[in-house]
Structure 1
Amino acid sequence: MRILVILDRPETALFTLETTRLLLKKIPDSDVRILHPRAAVDPRFQSPDEGLPTVDERTRFESEGMARSFALHKIFEQWLASSHPSGVIEWSEVSGVPRKLVADQAAQADLTVLGRPLADDPDYIRQAFDGALYDAQATVLITPLQHRQTVAVHPVIAWHPSSSLDQLILQARPLLERASRVTFIIGETRENEEQTPEIVQVLRSENIEVSVDRFIISSSIAGEEIRKRALSAGGDLLIMGAYTHSHFLEWLFGGVTQDILAHDTLPILTHH
């Protein structure tokens, strides 16, 4: 499997790398490219009406970029030396427009791994996220903001029939087939509204323990209920489709889910 890992923020880089290491335990025969997409132009001055940066502003932007690159590469080297992850690992640093850089490389990968975006992220980090998920329409693993012991030993699938989720489950089959247990969470407006997914029986026929957890959607905040049930089931990976840009980001960033995200965050495997 070809895995692209995006490193763009020193504060969360180790969480992203550790999630990658745990992932490689499930799919060890993988080629991994660690990409630092470095912005070549200060995003505050990308259009003519924004004017030109002063010498001091340009110097500050270049200095901050160099410091970030140095910090990320140091974190990567220390992780590589101490963790000994399986697979073929290579470091790549490319300058340009982060959104395009990430989109181009994510389109060539089977899976793209990147840190969970934060509401106050600078533009270049949001660009990388959008480039992978929406421009490349890649299968994306969004890593949590804390260390976890396992990834994909017990995947939880937030079931909602869609072509996005069908494609995602197809891409996730190597992980599902190596799982100890898989849980499907199905939100319904009335009891047994949704048929049991065919993939449930397929996995059971391969001697994988599969459980189905149904609940009645009592409010518009289904995401919070899914998160609670995934954590309660003991899941270590949440698989769900990114159905629309705005709704997915709203759910990811918080609102009423913020307290849950602050206390325990699962890796999220998704596809737009």
Structure 2
Amino acid sequence: MRILAILDRIETATYTLETAGELAARLGHPPIRVLHPELQDDPDYQTPDEGMPSPEEEKRFAQEVSAKADALRDIFQKWKAGLIDQQATEWIEIAGDIRKTVAREAMNADMTVLSRPRSSDPEAVSQAFSGALYDAGATVIVASLQHHETVGAHPVIAWHPSSALERAMAAAQPFLERASHVSIVIGEDRANEVAEPPIAEELRQKGVTVAIDRFVIASSDVGEEIRQHALKAGGDLLVMGAYSRPHFIEWLFGGPTQDILSHATLPILTHH
């Protein structure tokens, strides 16, 4: 088992590291590789039409990149100092194409932890997310923007049958089987029209308490309804399949409707 944590924003780095640490603790302390993907070229000058940066602008860009790396490295060191002795960690910085760098690293990890993108984030943040989820086809943990005492002790499955959810549940199996309680949230057009998911009985056979939470979909904002039910259940990790690229990225970056990923609440385990 290998966990990769992506640090690309100073203000969210602590939550990303805390989530990675909680996951590792629940999985028997596998090594955590912490990556800071650095911009190699100034994003303000990516095409010939944008011209060339002046020496002063090149210096400013280099200073900004260096200062950000220093700040993130300091956050990592402080977090590392609070870990137990048996938790192995590694810090790396790689400059270059953000999306390709993250995809390459995520392919060699079992789980990749990133913080939740926000609509105000630079393009590099969405590139990192797309590199992990779509290019690498990795299991992605979207860390929330707040502290959580536990991650994975009480998983909540957002039930919507798909190959993506099957892959997400397979990746979440170590958490599901170790959990004291698992909730399965099912949104339905009519009451009790969806059969109980087979995984419910499979987990019960392994001694896990499983609760089925059904609700009749009352609005077009199903994501928000799922979020509310997951919070009410007391969950600390939402397991869901990633939708097609355009819709999922829209959700993450604050599309026209609110949803489960536009709130700083639960960490989310997902797979495309």
- Which interval holds the TM-score relative to the shorter structure? over 0.9
Aligned residues between the structures? 271
Q: Which amino acid aligns with 1:176?
A: L
The residue that corresponds to 1:161 in the other structure is: 161
Q: Which amino acid aligns with 2:142?
A: I
The residue that corresponds to 2:102 in the other structure is: 102
Q: Which amino acid aligns with 1:60?
A: R
- C-alpha offsets along residues 5-54 of structure 1, whole Å, 9 cap, x if unaligned? 00111111111111111111210241211000001111222222322112
8 Å CA contact 1:24–1:85 kept in 2: the answer is no
- C-alpha offsets along residues 146-183 of structure 1, whole Å, 9 cap, x if unaligned? 11111111000101000000011111111111111000
Structure 1 gap ranges (5+): none
SS in 1 for 2:44: helix
Residue 135 of structure 1, CA deviation:
1.3
Cα distance in 1 for partners of 2:201, 2:34 equals 37
Q: Which amino acid aligns with 1:48?
A: P
Question: In structure 2, do the counterparts of structure 1 residues 41 and 119 end up closer, same or farther at CA, with 3 Å as the change threshold?
Answer: same
8 Å CA contact 2:15–2:145 kept in 1: the answer is yes
- C-alpha offsets along residues 114-155 of structure 1, whole Å, 9 cap, x if unaligned? 111110101212211111112112110010111111111100
Identity of aligned residues (%): 52
TM-score by length of 1: 0.94
The residue that corresponds to 2:47 in the other structure is: 47
Cα distance in 1 for partners of 2:21, 2:102 equals 21
Cα distance in 1 for partners of 2:245, 2:64 equals 30
Q: Which amino acid aligns with 1:257?
A: Q
130-139 or 222-231, which deviates more = 130-139
The residue that corresponds to 1:177 in the other structure is: 177
Q: How does 1:43-122 map to 2 (within 5 A)?
A: 43-84=43-84, 86-122=86-122
The residue that corresponds to 1:257 in the other structure is: 258
1:221 aligns to 2:215 (yes or no):
no
The residue that corresponds to 2:271 in the other structure is: 271
1:194 aligns to 2:194 (yes or no):
yes
Q: Which amino acid aligns with 1:3?
A: I
- C-alpha offsets along residues 43-73 of structure 1, whole Å, 9 cap, x if unaligned? 2222223221122221111110000000011
Structure 2 gap ranges (5+): none
8 Å CA contact 1:5–1:35 kept in 2: the answer is yes
The CA RMSD measured in Å over matched residues stands at 1.8
The residue that corresponds to 2:205 in the other structure is: 205
8 Å CA contact 1:24–1:86 kept in 2: the answer is no
Question: In structure 2, do the counterparts of structure 1 residues 150 and 117 end up closer, same or farther at CA, with 3 Å as the change threshold?
Answer: same
126-135 or 243-252, which deviates more = 243-252
Residue 256 of structure 1, CA deviation:
5.0
Q: Which amino acid aligns with 1:203?
A: L
Residue 271 of structure 1, CA deviation:
0.8
SS in 2 for 1:61: helix
TM-score by length of 2: 0.94
Q: Which amino acid aligns with 1:131?
A: G
Q: Which amino acid aligns with 2:67?
A: A
Cα distance in 2 for partners of 1:118, 1:46 equals 23
Cα distance in 1 for partners of 2:124, 2:243 equals 23
